[in-house]
A and B are shown apart, each in its own frame.
Chain A
């Protein structure tokens, strides 16, 4: 069965089109909504076609790690709800959700978008921890890009809750935003046969030979890479994929401005 779907896919790719009529380098329609949660300090909903992801940011007071007494913490957690897809089950996080959370985390952390030094309240004692929760509402492929986009949007629109030095009042948000110096954008480039494309739908995603997730910042730096799929990628493949990812990232960055 898998094989016939794959052949069918390749036939479309050969004519430079997709199962839904898009071009190979074309994203689906992206919809963005901000501030969807009343209880989170920053939140966003991102829809890419029928794929829908929510992200919420909580600002928590915590003690810094002993080796980095001046640094705040970043935590990213992803949950694949069973309502999003028949493949997902409740219970402990699966390998897919762990990978997603880690790739999003790597993009945010390594881009240095959040200056962790600024999260420090008292050296060695009190720092802010930025905790992001990613929830999938519906999976029609490309959860990774949607989740990364939702995360950076939620973080970008996060405001500190009021803090009197002892306790945090989450009911009151201050006007101080969580400062973002860079906007990391994640684009996953897929390869099936010899065809390279972005933003796969479910049917395409289950027939991917190899994929490369690339996170870039606005100054063109690559801050995270993740290879997936069972087939190898050649050097040539990787440079084409990275180039395509940077190109698409620019387009997405325009969109979220």
Chain B
């Protein structure tokens, strides 16, 4: 029996690029956004290393949104078809929202679908299926899933969304409470918000700051102080 010498080539929180060698030998396991080639483990994305026991995982720092089942996203209607709506998802693929997944109400044959969702509407929807060919199916048949009227849209790096939301939504509720804005964050990096104009500006500034400093620790406290400062500056 040949003995493989296993070695870890990176440390926790190292920044790696796609194709970078992370470990040699079979003692380590490829986790999310890594893959095995021969007896090496290589990185698939630009990101930070996270080692949990024997598993090595990459937390992406950049890149487009990759659709995942059960994600709640905010999409824009780009086409109204005979049996549903085509939705732009801020990923490389567009999604389809079928009439049967859009509403539980009865819809007459030949009804005007634009009465439900019209071209250019922003819709909060959940991904119910992603095929291997990346055909995405959406639903709006659950609480909180609906068309967003009014307000404004903000696009952020989708990889920072977990940080924007925070643990059990702690970060985003802090922003909401401080600014009195209604905010909905889609997993695809699209954010919808509505509030008083000046409050919105403060909320956006805070979100941009979270996005920029997502990798630093003690961010919640920093943002709390930042929000107070900004509120004073804008006399809210």
Write the residues of chain A forming the contact surface with B, with a CB cutoff of 8 angstroms: 1-2, 4-5, 7-8, 11-12, 15, 17, 19-21, 203
Contacts and interface: CB of A to CB of B under 8 A. Distances in A.
A4 B198 contact: no
Interface class of chain A by DSSP: helix
Interface residues of B, number: 19
B198 A1 contact: no
Contacts of A5: 152
A11 B149 contact: no
Contact of B198 (A2, A7, A17): A17
Contacts of B122: 1
A192 to B, nearest CB: 14
B90 to A, nearest CB: 12
Contacts of A17: 197-198, 201
B119 A21 contact: no
B227 to A, nearest CB: 14
A201 to B, nearest CB: 12
Given A12-B197, A15-B197, A21 B120 contact: no
Contacts of B25: none
A19 B152 contact: yes
A1 to B, nearest CB: 3
B198 A8 contact: no
Interface of B: 76, 118-122, 149-152, 194, 196-198, 200-201, 204-205, 234
Nearest to A203: B152
A1 B201 contact: no
* Shortest beta-carbon contacts, A-B, top 5: A1-B120, A21-B201, A12-B197, A17-B197, A15-B197
A8 B151 contact: yes
A203 to B, nearest CB: 8
Contact of A1 (B121, B197, B200): B121
Contacts of B149: 4
A21 B152 contact: no
A4 B152 CA distance: 9
B124 to A, nearest CB: 15
B152 A1 contact: no
Contact of B150 (A4, A15, A20): A4
B152 A8 contact: yes
B234 A21 contact: yes
A11 B197 contact: yes
Contacts of A203: 152
A52 to B, nearest CB: 18
A8 B234 contact: no
